[in-house]
Amino acid sequence: MSSVELIILGILLDRPLNPYELARQIDERSVSRILKISRPAVYKVCKRLARQGYLRGKAMREGELPEKTVYSVTPKGKKHFQRLMEHFSRAALPMYFEFNSFLFHIERIESGKAQEMLGNLQTELLELQEWVIAHQKEEAARWSFAPEAIVEQYSMVISALVKWIDKTIRKHKELDRPR
């Protein structure tokens, strides 16, 4: 069960699109910033969903432009969408933060360098928090319930991570103090 499949099927339920337009919509909605999805994945998953009978692809040409495949959701695809919705509503899996792999080994490097790296992480988290806050202010008026709920969730998680990194940096500095 793939969250990328769910995103693609959900967007295509609104209207048929080619993979380029689909990827553009994902970028415009900043979905890739809050959900793990890439442009190449959009193309690959559309082809796979079509092979599985969840999407119908129709080759179309506009003027002199190259032919593009426009995908729409089949009845079988609508059922798959419902199954994916059900699956992910019950799949509150543990969250994995990629930076924890670096943190796991922090004690294996020199303390000054470790502080620098923790500072790098802090900067990244603060920039992400600023992006979320700015995005909320810019976009909130046009959001429906779902995007608003997702961005609020993201905002709360980022706020917690910013507090956590501040505390982690303080605790790491205390390791260097003589006792």
pLDDT of residue 74: 98
pLDDT in tens, 18-43: 999 998 888 776 665 667 788 888 99
Please name the fold of domain 3-89: Arc Repressor Mutant, subunit A (1.10.10)
pLDDT of residue 33: 64
Query: Model-level pTM?
Result: 0.73
pLDDT in tens, 54-95: 999 999 888 888 899 999 999 999 999 999 999 999 887 777
pLDDT of residue 147: 76
More confident residue, 48 or 90: 48
> For the residues 138-167, what does the mean pLDDT come to?
86
d(CA 127, CA 96): 20
pLDDT of residue 48: 97
Element (H, E) at 55: strand 55-60
d(CA 47, CA 57): 9
pLDDT in tens, 86-137: 999 988 777 788 899 999 999 999 999 999 999 999 999 999 899 888 877 7
Determine the Cα angle at 23 with ends 6 and 32, to 5°: 70
pLDDT of residue 105: 94
pLDDT in tens, 84-93: 999 999 887 7
d(CA 99, CA 107): 14
The answer to whether 155 touches 133, Cβ cutoff 8 Å, is yes
The answer to whether 102 touches 19, Cβ cutoff 8 Å, is no
